[in-house]
Structure 1
Amino acid sequence: MAPPQGQMRPGRQLAVLGLIFVVLYSLVFFSGAHGGWKDRLEPRLGLDLIGGTRLTLEATNSLDGKPPTAANLEEARQIIESRVNGYGVAEAEVVTEGNRNIVISLPGENRDLTDVGSAAELRFRKVLKAADGSGAAAAPAATPTPAPSGSAAPKPSATASAKPSGSAAPKVTSSPSAGGQGGGAPAPSASATPSASASSSAPAASPSASAPPVSQSIEQQRQAVQKKVGAPAWAAASGLQAPADLAADPSLAERLKPFSTLSPQEIAVLTPEMQFNVPTISCAQLDKRPAASIKDPKQRAVACEGGAAKYLLDVAKVEGTDVKDANAVLDQTSAWVVSLNFTGDGQGKWTELTREAFQNTGNACDQAALGNEGKCRVAVVLDNAIVSAPEIQGVLTGDSQISGSFDSKSANDLASQLRYGALPVTFVPQTQQNVTATLGDSQLRAGLLAAGIGLLLVIIYSFFYYRLLGSVIFLSLVLSALLVFGALVVLGRQIGFTLTLAGIAGMIVSLGVAADSFVIYFERLKDEIREGRSPRSAVPRAWIRARRTIISANAITLMSAVVLYIVSVGTVKGFAFALGLATVLDLVVVFLFRHPIMTMFASTKAFLSPRVSGLGRALPARSAEPATPRNPRVKEA
Structure 2
Amino acid sequence: MHPGRQLGVLGLVFVVLYLAVFFLGGAKGSFTERLHPKLGLDLVGGTQATYIASVQGGQVPSKESMEQAKGIIENRVNALGVSEAEVVVQGQRNIVVSLAGKSEDQLKDLAKAAQMRFRLVVGATGDVSASALNPPSASPSASASAKPSTSAGAKASASAAAGAAKTPSASATPSASTTPSATPTPTPSETALPQATGDENVTVADVQKKVGPAAWAAAEKLTAPVDLSTNKQAGLPYAAFSKLDGAEVNVLSPQMQFNVPTISCAQLAARPNGAIDDVNKQAAVCYNGGKVLLDKAPVVGEDISKASPQLDQQNGQWVVSLDFKSDGSKKWANLTRQAFTATSSDPCYVAATAMYGSIDHCAVAVVLDKEIVSAPQIQGVLTGTSQITGQFTASSAKQLADQLNFGALPVTFASGPAQTVSATLGIQQLKAGLLAAAIGMLLVAVYAFFYYRLLGTVIFLSLILSALLTFGALDFLGRTIGFTLTLAGIAGFIVSLGVAADSFVIYFERLKDEIREGRSPRSAVSRAWVRARRTIISANTITIMAAVVLYIVSIGAVQGFAFALGLSTVLDLVVVFLFRHPIMTMLASTKAFMSPRVSGLGRVLRRTPTDVKEA
1:302 to 267, 284, 289: 284
Q: Does 1:365 align with 2:348?
A: yes
Q: Does 1:316 align with 2:310?
A: no
Partner residue in 2 for 1:117: 111
Alpha-carbon distance between aligned partners in 1 of 2:173 and 2:387, rounded to the nearest angstrom: 6
Alpha-carbon distance between aligned partners in 1 of 2:303 and 2:277, rounded to the nearest angstrom: 16
| Structure 1: runs of 5+ lacking an equivalent | 1-33, 37-42, 158-171, 180-189, 194-216, 454-488, 490-495, 505-569, 578-637
1:130 to 124, 127, 142: 124
**What code does the residue aligned with 1:288 have?**
A
Once the two structures are superposed, the pairs formed by residues 141-160 of structure 1 within 5 Å of their partners are 141=148, 144-145=157-158, 151=164, 154-157=167-170
Offset at residue 52 of structure 1 (A): 2.8
Alpha-carbon distance between aligned partners in 1 of 2:425 and 2:201, rounded to the nearest angstrom: 53
Q: Which moved more, 1:65-74 or 1:269-278?
A: 65-74
2:80 to 65, 69, 87: 87
Alpha-carbon distance between aligned partners in 2 of 1:255 and 1:280, rounded to the nearest angstrom: 9
Is the Cα contact below 8 Å between 2:174 and 2:382 reproduced in 1? no
Offset at residue 349 of structure 1 (A): 0.4
Q: Call closer, same or farther: CA 1:374–1:145 in 2, change over 3 Å.
A: farther
Deviations 1:413-471 (A, max 9, x none): 11111221111111112123344xxx52x323434688999xxxxxxxxxxxxxxxxxx
Alpha-carbon distance between aligned partners in 1 of 2:201 and 2:430, rounded to the nearest angstrom: 59
Alpha-carbon distance between aligned partners in 1 of 2:83 and 2:227, rounded to the nearest angstrom: 56
Please, what TM-score do these two structures have when normalized by structure 2? Answer: 0.54
**3-state DSSP of counterpart to 2:235:** helix
Partner residue in 1 for 2:53: 59
Q: Does 1:239 align with 2:221?
A: yes
Is the Cα contact below 8 Å between 2:148 and 2:224 reproduced in 1? no
Offset at residue 144 of structure 1 (A): 4.1
Q: Call closer, same or farther: CA 1:248–1:47 in 2, change over 3 Å.
A: same
Is the Cα contact below 8 Å between 1:155 and 1:391 reproduced in 2? no
Alpha-carbon distance between aligned partners in 1 of 2:403 and 2:87, rounded to the nearest angstrom: 16
Is the Cα contact below 8 Å between 1:146 and 1:154 reproduced in 2? no
Q: Which moved more, 1:49-58 or 1:374-383?
A: 49-58
Is the Cα contact below 8 Å between 1:120 and 1:423 reproduced in 2? yes
Alpha-carbon distance between aligned partners in 1 of 2:147 and 2:160, rounded to the nearest angstrom: 15
Partner residue in 1 for 2:191: none
Alpha-carbon distance between aligned partners in 1 of 2:311 and 2:111, rounded to the nearest angstrom: 26
Q: Call closer, same or farther: CA 1:191–1:114 in 2, change over 3 Å.
A: closer
Q: Call closer, same or farther: CA 1:249–1:151 in 2, change over 3 Å.
A: closer
Once the two structures are superposed, the pairs formed by residues 350-429 of structure 1 within 5 Å of their partners are 350-360=332-342, 363-365=346-348, 367-370=350-353, 372-429=358-415
Offset at residue 283 of structure 1 (A): 1.3
Offset at residue 126 of structure 1 (A): 0.5
Q: Call closer, same or farther: CA 1:192–1:286 in 2, change over 3 Å.
A: closer
**3-state DSSP of counterpart to 1:49:** helix
Is the Cα contact below 8 Å between 2:146 and 2:162 reproduced in 1? no
**3-state DSSP of counterpart to 1:94:** strand
**What code does the residue aligned with 1:140 have?**
K
Q: Does 1:100 align with 2:93?
A: yes
Once the two structures are superposed, the pairs formed by residues 26-45 of structure 1 within 5 Å of their partners are none
Offset at residue 279 of structure 1 (A): 0.9
**What code does the residue aligned with 2:376 have?**
P
**3-state DSSP of counterpart to 2:276:** coil
Q: Call closer, same or farther: CA 1:321–1:451 in 2, change over 3 Å.
A: closer
1:229 to 211, 214, 218: 211
Offset at residue 317 of structure 1 (A): 0.4
Is the Cα contact below 8 Å between 2:172 and 2:378 reproduced in 1? no
Offset at residue 368 of structure 1 (A): 3.7
Structure of larger gyration radius: 1
How many residue pairs get matched?
378
Partner residue in 2 for 1:140: 147
Partner residue in 2 for 1:275: 257
**What code does the residue aligned with 1:329 have?**
Q
Partner residue in 1 for 2:446: none
Partner residue in 1 for 2:520: none
Once the two structures are superposed, the pairs formed by residues 560-599 of structure 1 within 5 Å of their partners are none
Q: Call closer, same or farther: CA 1:134–1:287 in 2, change over 3 Å.
A: farther
**What code does the residue aligned with 1:424 have?**
P
Alpha-carbon distance between aligned partners in 2 of 1:427 and 1:50, rounded to the nearest angstrom: 28
Once the two structures are superposed, the pairs formed by residues 506-525 of structure 1 within 5 Å of their partners are none
Q: Call closer, same or farther: CA 1:306–1:89 in 2, change over 3 Å.
A: farther
Q: Call closer, same or farther: CA 1:410–1:133 in 2, change over 3 Å.
A: same
Partner residue in 2 for 1:73: 66
Q: Call closer, same or farther: CA 1:148–1:313 in 2, change over 3 Å.
A: closer
Partner residue in 1 for 2:443: none
Alpha-carbon distance between aligned partners in 1 of 2:162 and 2:277, rounded to the nearest angstrom: 31
Partner residue in 1 for 2:495: none
Alpha-carbon distance between aligned partners in 2 of 1:452 and 1:192, rounded to the nearest angstrom: 53
Offset at residue 96 of structure 1 (A): 1.2
1:256 to 238, 263, 285: 238
Offset at residue 285 of structure 1 (A): 1.3
Offset at residue 314 of structure 1 (A): 0.5
Offset at residue 264 of structure 1 (A): 1.7
**What code does the residue aligned with 1:331 have?**
D
Percentage identity across paired residues of the two chains: 45
Offset at residue 229 of structure 1 (A): 0.7
Q: Call closer, same or farther: CA 1:419–1:448 in 2, change over 3 Å.
A: closer
What is the alpha-carbon root mean square deviation over aligned residues? 4.1
Offset at residue 234 of structure 1 (A): 0.6
* 4+ long deviations beyond 6 Å: 146-150, 448-453, 496-501
**3-state DSSP of counterpart to 1:315:** coil
Alpha-carbon distance between aligned partners in 2 of 1:302 and 1:345, rounded to the nearest angstrom: 27
Once the two structures are superposed, the pairs formed by residues 431-580 of structure 1 within 5 Å of their partners are 431-435=417-421, 439-440=422-423, 442-447=424-429
Q: Which moved more, 1:218-227 or 1:390-399?
A: 218-227
**3-state DSSP of counterpart to 2:110:** helix
Is the Cα contact below 8 Å between 2:125 and 2:162 reproduced in 1? no
Q: Call closer, same or farther: CA 1:149–1:410 in 2, change over 3 Å.
A: farther
Offset at residue 291 of structure 1 (A): 1.1
Q: Which moved more, 1:377-386 or 1:243-252?
A: 243-252
**What code does the residue aligned with 1:80 have?**
I
**3-state DSSP of counterpart to 1:115:** coil
Deviations 1:554-610 (A, max 9, x none): xxxxxxxxxxxxxxxx99x99xx9xxxxxxxxxxxxxxxxxxxxxxxxxxxxxxxxx
Deviations 1:320-370 (A, max 9, x none): 111111111111133211111111111110011100111127824262434
Q: Does 1:328 align with 2:292?
A: no
Alpha-carbon distance between aligned partners in 2 of 1:132 and 1:149, rounded to the nearest angstrom: 4
Offset at residue 252 of structure 1 (A): 4.7
**3-state DSSP of counterpart to 1:117:** coil
**What code does the residue aligned with 1:295 have?**
D
| Structure 2: runs of 5+ lacking an equivalent | 1-16, 22-36, 133-144, 150-155, 182-198, 436-469, 471-482, 492-554, 562-615
Deviations 1:188-234 (A, max 9, x none): xx7499xxxxxxxxxxxxxxxxxxxxxxx999521111111111111
Is the Cα contact below 8 Å between 1:124 and 1:317 reproduced in 2? yes
Please, what TM-score do these two structures have when normalized by structure 1? Answer: 0.53
**What code does the residue aligned with 1:428 have?**
A
Deviations 1:457-487 (A, max 9, x none): xxxxxxxxxxxxxxxxxxxxxxxxxxxxxxx
Alpha-carbon distance between aligned partners in 2 of 1:373 and 1:247, rounded to the nearest angstrom: 24
